[in-house]
Structure 1
Amino acid sequence: MHLPRPHRDDVVIAVAALLGGLLLWSLGLYTNGDVNRPLPKWATLVPLVVICAMSVYRRTFPLTTLLVCTLCLTVDVFSVGSLVTIIMFSDGVYVSVVYGPPRFAHRTPVITGMLTVAMTGLLTALLQVPEALLIGVVFGLITFGPATTGAIVRNHREAADAAKLRAEQTALLAEMDRVQAVTAERSRMARELHDMVANHLSAIAIHSTAAISLDDAATTRSALNVIRENSVEGLAEMRRLIGLLRDDASADDREPAARPSLAGLESLVAQAGTNGAASGLTVTLDDRRAGQNSGEATLPAPVELAAYRIVQESLTNALKHAEPGEVHVRLVHTAGDRLTVTVTSAYGAGAGPRAPGSGAGLVGMRERVALLDGEIEAGPVPGPDGGPEKIWQVRAVLPVRDEKEPDA
């Protein structure tokens, strides 16, 4: 059997105890005197050497150490006795509580306390001399005292370990929260960047293609005007987004970043109509929100932002993929109910998209709707007349709680 390497401190303690015991023995300092003992004087060195040798593994084998210490103390009682053997026995009780199994560590102070009381009472009853109480006190000092001290030390260590574990768990949870917050913020920034710029870049790509492919001065000039308009607006929106991300920007040099709302929906639809005219697209708006004509329509800002971005992305996709025809935007909302956004466009097997797409638009719309616990559907559906022709429809349902309702 390969024994583990002992702890350095245990080796130092064992060597110091052995040298101290040999010194006391050589000086004739015994705990039991040198008369009426069945064992010779040199016999006290045997338990001393054994108990010091076993103490080298006091941390590794605490229960075995306690057993050996008990046997050595028993032998020491029948010899002239060594103070070092008694001290090392007390150390064996201490380490068995500190490093032993939890159940044993919890029971040892109780057991040693009961033995101390029982021995003191028994010796007092049998001997009926004051020295019997002194023997009981000494027995308690070498058994109950170390066991209680070990229990206190073990409890403090366990409390420290538990506090350290809680601190590590708290740090881990904080790091997880930070990573989740960073990930969520990056996703939000990606959605905003895509929704703000994709519409303008798609219009630029389509009209630049028209300007290159068509040899007509009027068409080229019109396309270049649209390209310039979308470039300027896209650059302005990009600057607003960058202004939000700059940590060192002061209040004087940062442009106000207005959050898009449904109040700008007509302007968005008009711009989309201008951008899609060259592709044969006409864009119409049917806004049936309650109170919107009187200017009293109020929706939560997250709902208005999500609805605006859904319409914006749907119009961008229509500009890229839709067949020539009508693109219809419809909003329906009644107070305290929900907002339904529907965007339809002509659907067919065309030659391909007029501008490249990344596929992130639908993902961004679904993420926005999911954050509001809403529903969204996107795909081809039968036309309104029930014929074989289909239309592409994006339909999002956004829950809206009436702001006048009391909080639950």
Structure 2
Amino acid sequence: MAPRLPRPHRDDVRIAVGGLLGGLCLWGVGLYSRTADDALARVDQGWAVLVPLAVMSGCELFRRSRPRTALLTGTLALVADLLTRGNLATVVMFTDLVYAAVLYGSPGSARRIPRITGLVTVIATVWPVAAWHRAEGLLIGAFTGLVTFTPAATGWIVRNHRDTADAERLRAEQTALLAEIDRTQAVTAERARMARELHDMVANHLSAIAIHSTAALSLDDPRTSQDALAVIRENSVEGLAEMRRLIGILRDDSGDREPAAAPTLDGLEALLAGARVNGLDVTLEAAHGERLPAPVELAAYRIVQESLTNALKHAAPGRVTVALTRADGALTVRITSPYGDRGGPRAPGSGAGLVGMRERAALLGGTFEAGPGGSSAGRSWTVRATLPLTRGEPVTRGEEA
């Protein structure tokens, strides 16, 4: 089955029809490019100019879809036109075919056609002058250049501008896409950071409220209920203050407000004191030396805070040990709590705390482990995080040991 010819573009149809009608008008009034006694006019009948004219107008239909084929066929039609008395419309349509072949053709054709037409122009200029020894031969070269090289050069310039515009538009779209990706990643990272902060700040208070309120409801003891209500009130007030501070930071976009001080390891004693009030038996073993980098202190503080919250919700009765050691360029945070069945009330967990602790360690290039284990004191749940003191240098397994 023969391949179907592409449908001509509507603008190409208009050009073809306009060129054909213009050529017919010139033929109708008897206006030709050359006289009947011209040496090139082998066929002096007036109707002969219509054949190249019709072929050339047909080539215009495919100037955009088949530019190279249209140019080759148009070149043959131009040669045929030279053997007649000539029609100006045929020549004008040929120049458009040269222009279209450079503009719409393949990159190889766009490079070769200006070179070929330039060479033809040079030959058409030099050869008549050398053969006739008359300056009038330069007119032939000028006409040839006007018909061939000028439209080819114009098409090359327009194509370069079009390709440059396309490249700039593509670059702008890529830049906009990258900017959108960066914005989305920044929003996602900020939302994850705020989720971690919100969880770490409020979960401890809400867990204590849930556990003590359950105890107050399940035990018919006025003294126990009174103590539970006191703990609930204290945690409610502290949790509300934390929420107000966080909401204030989110709403204040003026840039004039001083950022709230991030918690440091100096506040561990106060954190552990609050945990003891909530009913945990906590001890601290700290050997981390002088002040550490602020991101490391914040991550360590939040990991301890979340571990104490988990111990309050899930740990069996017994001692919770918090140990901080500094060695081999890293801070190791280790929290150990009793693991087993718990007789009293417990708060539900979602697993978001472990995810947040793992993310905090990963952001600093550190490692995080959490899980049950055995010891001389019985079964225990251990949380272990290793945080490099130099950002961007992850700790290897050998360094952890």
Question: What is the TM-score normalised by the length of structure 2?
Answer: 0.92
Matches of residues 175-190 of structure 1 in structure 2 within 5 Å? 175-190=180-195
Supply the distance in 1 between the matched residues of 2:259 and 2:114 (Cα, whole angstroms): 72
* SS of match in other structure, 1:143: helix
Matched, 1:38 2:42: yes
Aligned pair count? 386
Shift of 1:42: 0.6
1:315 — aligned with what? Answer: 308
Give per-residue Cα distances to partners, 1:333-373, cap 9 Å, x unaligned: 26x82211110011124469711011100000000000000
- 1:83 aligned partner: 88
CA contact (8 A) 2:317 2:342 kept: no
Q: Which amino acid in 1 is paired with 2:332?
A: T
Aligned to 2:394: none
Maintained 8 Å contact 1:32/1:77: no
AA matched with 1:392: W
In structure 2, which of residues 101, 126, 129 is the aligned counterpart of residue 124 of structure 1? 129
CA distance in 2, matches of 1:91, 1:195: 73
Unaligned runs of 5+ in 1: 291-296, 403-408
**Contact 1:63–1:100 under 8 Å retained in 2:** yes
Q: Secondary structure at the match of 1:57?
A: coil
**1:172 and 2:177 correspond:** yes
1:359 correspondence with 2:351: yes
Which residue of 2 is the match for residue 24 of structure 1? Answer: 26
**TM-score normalised by L of structure 1:** 0.90
Counterparts of 1:9-408 in structure 2, within 5 Å, are 9-35=11-37, 37-39=41-43, 40-247=45-252, 257-276=260-279, 281-290=280-289, 297-333=290-326, 337-350=329-342, 354-383=346-375, 385=376, 389-401=378-390
Separation in 1, partners of 2:344, 2:95? 89
Bigger mean CA offset, 18-27 vs 350-359: 350-359
**How many Å separate the matches in 2 of 1:79 and 1:94?**
24
Q: Distance in 1 between matches of 2:7 and 2:112?
A: 29
SS for the counterpart of 2:116 is helix
Kept in 1, the 8 Å contact 2:287–2:325? The answer is yes
Give the structure 2 partner of residue 406 of structure 1: none
Displacement, 1:82?
Answer: 0.8
Report the Cα offset of residue 248 of structure 1. Answer: 5.7
Q: Distance in 1 between matches of 2:374 and 2:85?
A: 108
CA contact (8 A) 1:200 1:233 kept: yes
Instruction: Confirm or deny: 8 A CA contact 2:215 2:345 kept in the other structure.
Output: no
> CA separation of 1:173/1:248 partners in 2, compared to 1, >3 Å: closer, same or farther?
closer
Query: Counterpart of 1:159 in structure 2: which amino acid?
Result: T
Whether the 8 Å contact between 1:97 and 1:104 is mirrored in structure 2 is: yes
The answer (yes or no) to whether the contact 1:243–1:249 under 8 Å persists in 2 is no
Residue of structure 2 in register with 1:8 after alignment: 10
Offset, 1:258: 2.8
CA displacement, residues 351-407 of structure 1 (integer Å, 9 cap, x when unaligned): 697110111000000000000001111112231x3x7x32111111111149xxxxx
Equivalent AA in structure 1 for residue 315 of structure 2: A
| AA of the residue aligned to 2:364 | L
Identity among equivalent positions (%) equals: 63
Taking only aligned residues, the RMSD between alpha carbons, in angstroms, comes to 2.0
SS in structure 1 opposite 2:278?
helix
The alignment partner of 2:52 has SS state of helix
Q: Tell me which amino acid in the other structure corresponds to 2:22.
A: G
Cα distance change of structure 1 residues 249 and 173 upon mapping to structure 2, 3 Å threshold:
closer
- Which deviates the most, 207-216 or 353-362? 353-362
Cα distance in 1 for residues equivalent to 2:370 and 2:344: 18
- The offset of 1:38, in angstroms, is 2.6
Is residue 261–residue 304 contact of structure 1 (8 Å, CA) maintained in 2? yes
Q: Is the 8 A contact 1:243 1:255 kept in 2?
A: no
1:143 Cα offset (Å): 0.8
More displaced, 187-196 or 47-56?
47-56
CA deviation digits over 1:86-129, x for unaligned, max 9? 11111111100000000110111111111221232222222332
Report the 3-state secondary structure (helix = DSSP H, G, I; strand = E; otherwise coil) of the residue aligned with 2:31.
coil
